[in-house]
Amino acid sequence: MDELLLGLVWYVVLLFSLTLHEAAHAFAANRGGDPTAYLGGQVSLDPRPHMRREPFGTVLWPLLSYAMWGSMIGWASTPYSPAWADRHPRRAAWMSLAGPFANLLLVLLAGLAIRAGIAAGAFAPPAQIHFTQLAVAVAPGLAETAATLLSIQFTLNLLLFVFNLIPLPPLDGAGAIGLLLPDEAARSLRHLFSNPQFSMLGIVAAWFLVQPLFGPVHLLAVQLLYPEIPYG
């Protein structure tokens, strides 16, 4: 595939994945009684409110990362009321989980679409699995673009799911710990994790942790996608 087209496919998938992730956070917060993100227009699959809030993470860094490494990564964020989170630590924890599980939904949808494409004769399992190749088109054309898009959607969202569930601040897994604790302990932990120094350390540690974690999870996901083929 042409590099420019591949970059466009990468960006479309990444931007939609980030948008759905943040919209899920905003939706869960609004349902839980905090309309902060809703009033900012973020309960929406329109990427523009998320891009306006985080232009570096949704536009500049994805383009830079693709230019440097041939793959894209980025981030976005959802505002919420700390006072609401203090009053309702469990609702805040569910808000944290909503984003990663939106990414898991996109993994499942991509997997179903890949299997449907194989059943229809448009796709075939690849000889080797790559980040951008979980299915190959039987013939060139739109099917080739679709196979690449679904492959990236599957693997990228699996990576976002695993990374964001690491229980270190400022990641969603840290916020979800509140579901396992009494309310007062959850509040204290949230205050501790809000320290910017913990956030910086958490991001660095998570970056190193996700590398050994993601490989086995990805292999398991591929085995579930292709139970008839002994990849690995």
Q: What is the DSSP letter of 34?
A: -
Q: Are 25 and 98 in contact (CB under 8 A)?
A: yes
| pTM score of the predicted model | 0.96
Instruction: With both helix axes pointing from N to C terminus, report the angle between 183-193 and 89-119 in degrees, rounded to the nearest 10.
Output: 80
| Of residues 5, 100, 12, 108, the one with CA closest to residue 62 | 12
Q: Are 198 and 167 in contact (CB under 8 A)?
A: no
Please give the pLDDT value at position 3: 87
Q: Which residue has the tokens 């009321």?
A: 81
pLDDT tens, residue order, the chain (232 aa): 688 899 999 999 999 999 999 999 999 999 999 999 999 999 999 999 999 999 999 999 999 999 999 999 999 999 999 999 999 999 999 999 999 999 999 999 999 999 999 999 999 999 999 889 999 999 989 999 999 999 999 999 999 999 999 999 999 999 999 999 999 999 999 888 988 888 889 999 999 999 899 999 999 999 999 999 998 7
For 81-99, give the DSSP string: -HHHHHH-HHHHHHHHHHH
Please give the pLDDT value at position 38: 97
Q: Which residues of 157-187 are buried (b: 16+ CB within 10 A; e: fewer)?
A: bbbbbbbbbbebbbbbbbbbbbeebeeeebb
Distance CA 170, CA 232 (A): 33
> Furthest-apart CA pair in the chain: how many Å?
59
Please give the pLDDT value at position 16: 98
Please give the pLDDT value at position 61: 97
Strands 123-124 and 136-137: antiparallel
Going from N- to C-terminal start, the domains of the chain cover: 3-225
Please give the pLDDT value at position 195: 86
Q: What tokens does 7 get?
A: 């970059």
Q: Are 132 and 6 in contact (CB under 8 A)?
A: yes
| Residue 194: count of CB within 10 angstroms of its CB | 13
